[in-house]
Amino acid sequence: MTSSAATDSLPPDIRALLASIQLVLQRYLSDSLIAVYLHGSAVTSGLRRDSDVDVLVVVEQPLTPALRQQLVTELLAYSASPEETTGLRPLEVMIFRRTELVNLRYPACSEFVYGEWLREELEMGSVPGVECEPELTLVLAQARQEALPLVGPALAELVPIITRAQVRRATGDLLPSLLAGLQGDERNVLLTLARMWRTLEVGDFVSKDVAAQWALTRSPAEHGKLLEYARQAYLGIISDHWQVRESESLSTARYLLSRVERGL
């Protein structure tokens, strides 16, 4: 079961969700399950209105196609997008094989990834497979610093140090796809760029709202204003509407990109 000491400070609904997810993992992964971690905003700045509950899992054996499908079916029932009124939180569950972590390569490879952005294709029958992506390298670098063990040892015992050079490489490799998704995802893209800038300059990993606060004090007024708008929306203080801010969003994204590229 989920360690009560590890989750005592979490809201009751999140504790219940984690306990349910852990039971699912134990049921299907059985003896292959090595460790389960909570990471992301739940263990740093606190969950926001639209925040995912981020769970990282380490297993010994590769997942069979049937097992992948069983996990998808279970996780779809415990997760929902922020726009839904079910009361469920969006889940992000990443599973890594122990051997992939111990012998970490670039880019890092996951055994399985579940997230709400995949819901439509998952409901149509798609099943997550092995993926090797720069973003996974950054996820592991951040999780290694902050992940809360629910089962198993500290993540730093399973994941080797990810160097600043590797973080820079992964950041640079992620930029094209991140910027390509600006339209329709303006808040997330701008805040992610702010966090990249902060990480490259300072060397730490902070929440998106903290990164935005840091970046806006170092930006021209017009870009700082938009970062504050995105920050307040992320915190749930305001509802954001980006259709009328397309040109401002593009301009601020270009500015933040220039700051990120300077640190690569």
The catalytic residue positions are 92
- Sign for the CA dihedral angle at 56, 60, 63, 68 comes to negative
Per-residue burial over 199-219, b if 16 or more Cβ lie within 10 Å, else e, is bbeeeebbbbbbbbbbbbeeb
What's the distance, CA 169 to chain centroid? 18
DSSP string, 43-94: GTT---TT--EEEEEEESSPPPHHHHHHHHHHHHHH---TT-SSSPPPEEEE
Q: Kindly give the pairing relationship between strand 53-59 and strand 91-97.
A: parallel
β-partners of residue 95 are 57, 112
Instruction: Determine the Cα–Cα distance for residues 152 and 171; give it in Å rounded to an integer.
Output: 29
Rg (CA), the chain: 18
